[in-house]
Amino acid sequence: MPRIRWVLAWVFVRGPAAVYELGESGSWIFTPILLAGMALTAGVGAGIGALVGVLAGTSVSDASFNGLMIGLATLMGWLVMSLVVIGVLWIRGISPSEAFAGKEQFPQ
């Protein structure tokens, strides 16, 4: 159970906080990492879609395109969720660096 909580914390809190911190740092590497993530997610989605197309005996190109779009939509959904998490952290008065470090701080 602790391992599942750790993974969920990274996906839903620490990951978005890390993305926000990297974006706020003004680092030149942020944009290439974001674009590489989009390409990787789209590629994995297209590959899974193509595999489903082969196994189902349908058009591989259509299934691959659908997988690509699902992969990109998943990443875009995660980025929107990241904005919501950052907004909630901001409202609670917790900085993204504290959330990324895993420190629990409760404002008084």
pLDDT 10s digits, 49-76: 999 999 998 899 999 999 999 988 988 8
CA 7 to chain centre: 13
Would you kindly state where each structural domain of the chain is located, as residue ranges? 34-95
Query: What is the mean predicted confidence (pLDDT) over 5-29?
Result: 79
At 88, list the tokens.
Answer: 């909630």
At 75, list the tokens.
Answer: 């990443």
pLDDT band at 108 (very low <50, low <70, confident <90, very high): very low
Angle, CA 11 vertex, CA 7 and CA 13 arms, to 5°: 105
CB 104 within 8 A of CB 75: no
CB 82 within 8 A of CB 20: yes
Q: What is the C-alpha to C-alpha distance for residues 63 and 50, in angstroms, rounded to an integer?
A: 6
